[in-house]
Structure 1
Amino acid sequence: MATSDPSVKTTPAVDETGADSSRILQTRGLRKEFGGLTATDDVDFAIEAGELRCLIGPNGAGKSTFLNLLTGQLDPTAGEIYYNGADITGLPSHERVGRGISMKFQVPSVYEGLTVAQNLRIPLQQVVEPDAFDARTREILERFDLLEQWGTVAGELSHGQQQRLEIGMAMAMEPKLMLLDEPVAGLSIEETADIAELLREIADDDGVALIVIEHDIDFVETIADRVTVLDGGSIFREGPIEEIKADPEVKRIYLGEDH
């Protein structure tokens, strides 16, 4: 949303994701080529502050490449990324983290040789003073149902506990935007329900925007505000989960159905 005063000049990033816009992130014409392969193609994607968006699509649709472009792990071949009023297209990953973008990978990347509390101190040392470590650690671990595992070596946690710990580590950075790649892969039905509740709480109560890559359509139906379908590196469909599930073309490309 542009400013109403025509005498005030603003940048596209401010117009699209600044204080006068409800969007926290907007990409324009985002493309990534690997040699002769186009992994993402002219992607215009936007997400509101506090929105929980699921990103679905068949294997090779460009979902992980898209997240890696947002985090700065990959440089785009073309296009722009606007975030919270700034053009972050050329920023390195660590600077994006400092601006409030955090990432939760598909395979938990906790430090298995450190305790649960020590894992949390790694991100916390970037945002809180040392004398607040214990109080903030306790607060996060209690929220993520890991307080009893304070001194447990992370490598001894269950897969579900490691997933919760890594989400807790991402939240310790006090992000405005969190990116999650298949956060419930390999989890039980009960663990999946717990993660769903956590993610909805993070969006609704903390106002964090979440982009979640997920294959489990039932999980998507449980958590998503809106769903974006990628196919062939481009946005194929976008809308509420009810519309996405009912779309015959989505069923064909994503669910493998002919009708």
Structure 2
Amino acid sequence: MSTQDINVRQKPAVAATGGNTETLLATKALTKNFGGLTAVDSVDFSVTEGEIRCLIGPNGAGKSTLLELITGQLSPSEGDIYFDGEDLTGMETHNRIDTGLSVKFQSPHVYENLTVEENLQVPLQRTDRDTETVLAETLERIDLTEKADVRASELSHGEKQRLEIGMAVTLDPTLMLLDEPVAGMSVDETADVAELIRSLHDDGMTFLVVEHDMEFVRRISDQVTVLNQGEIFRQGPIEEIEADEAVRRIYLGENA
């Protein structure tokens, strides 16, 4: 590909998410087909710098598929993905992390045979950050300082979830993507994760969170996007979303 072609390809990304706009992430007509099924249907979606955007919807709405398109686990059938002035559409997954994306999927992906501290050291190998300082700060932030030398296999489910969020935090991401971060947690564990996310947000981190737990969404969200049948159904503050009768009919009333 020539330099001219690359520059032409980058122009829409810069226009959509570059330095002259507050939009950090944007998808344009993003579509994913699986045979005859359209899981994500021409979605125009965006996340503004500094917000916590929650993505909700009934099972099968396309939430996880949209997240996997953004992270590169899936390739789109059509459309584009722009992030912080760059075109992610054809970019390899590991290269997307280097642009400032960090992701935590629903099931904990920690190294069970490594200690908490050793788990945190793994992503740090990708960076030139001061390891000692970052480890101390992250352990305190995820409330696992006293378990730094404990193997991950000995942690509770909630502690493993916090550890994986901590692993993502060590990369100092511009945007963190969380897929159902409180799935399977107790009420107290859910409250702990909500407090952690709000704390990270207060320090300037932007979030896109896929979640079913509406109480958790109420605790953390700035704006909520409702996905239904692969399309954006509604967007707005949580108060408006919960008051919307159509949303309640398709999601909150039947599947909350």
* TM-score for both structures, normalised by structure 2: 0.93
- Report the equivalent of 2:117: 117
Instruction: Answer yes or no: is 1:234 the counterpart of 2:231.
Output: yes
2:251 aligns with 254
Once the two structures are TM-superposed, the CA of residue 134 in structure 1 deviates from its matched residue by: 2.6
Aligned match for 2:214, one of 188, 212, 217: 217
Figure out how many residues of one structure are paired with residues of the other and give that number. Answer: 245
| Alignment partner of 1:171 is 2:194 | no
Counterpart secondary structure, 2:121: helix
What's 2:20 paired with? 20
Equivalent in the alignment of 2:67: 67
Q: Identity rate of aligned residues, in percent?
A: 58
Which residue is 1:3 aligned to?
A: none
Task: Detail structure 1 runs of 4+ shifted over 6 Å in the superposition.
Answer: none
Contact residue 242 and residue 252 of structure 2 kept, 8 A: no
Shift of 1:36: 0.6
Output the CA distance in 1 between the equivalents of 2:71 and 2:88: 10
Secondary structure of 1:114's aligned partner: coil
User: Tell me, what secondary structure is at the counterpart of 2:212?
Assistant: coil
Q: Unaligned regions of 5+ residues in structure 2, if any?
A: 1-9
Shift of 1:204: 2.1
SS in 2 for 1:192: helix
In 2, distance between residues paired with 1:64 and 1:19?
A: 28
Q: Give, in whole Å, the separation in 2 of the partners of 1:201 and 1:23.
A: 22
Q: 2 CA distance for matches of 1:231 and 1:148?
A: 43
In the alignment, which residue of structure 2 is the partner of 1:136? 134
Within the candidate set 168, 180, 183, 1:182 is matched to 180
Query: Partners of 2:133 and 2:218 in 1: how far apart?
Result: 35
- Amino acid corresponding to residue 163 of structure 2 in structure 1: L
Question: In structure 2, what is the equivalent of residue 204 of structure 1?
Answer: 202
Shift of 1:49: 1.0
Deviations 1:95-141 (A, max 9, x none): 00111111111111000011111101110111136xx3233211110
Secondary structure, counterpart of 2:111 in structure 1: coil
For residues 41 and 163 of structure 1, the distance between their equivalents in structure 2, rounded to whole angstroms, comes to 31
- Cα deviation code 1:7-32 (max 9, x no counterpart): xxx81111110001011101000000
Runs of at least 5 residues in structure 1 that lack an aligned partner in the other structure: 1-9
2:144 is matched with which residue? 146
SS of alignment partner, residue 44 of structure 1: strand
Hey, what's the Cα distance between the residues in 2 that align with 1:139 and 1:234? 40
Identify the residue that residue 41 of structure 1 maps to in structure 2.
41
TM-score (norm 1): 0.92
* Counterparts of 1:126 and 1:90, CA distance in 2: 21
Provide the residue aligned with 1:6 in structure 2: none
Distance 2:178 2:139 in 1: 19
Q: Quick check: 2:223–2:238 contact (8 Å CA) kept in 1?
A: yes
Superposed CA RMSD: 1.1
The structural deviation recorded for 1:185 is 1.1
Following superposition, the deviation at residue 86 of structure 1 comes to 1.1
CA distance in 1, matches of 2:198, 2:96: 23
CA distance in 2, matches of 1:204, 1:49: 12
Partners in 2 of 1:223 and 1:102 — Cα distance?
A: 18
Cα distance between partner residues in 2 of 1:44 and 1:220? 22
Q: CA deviation at 1:255?
A: 2.0
Report the 3-state secondary structure (helix = DSSP H, G, I; strand = E; otherwise coil) of the residue aligned with 2:120.
helix
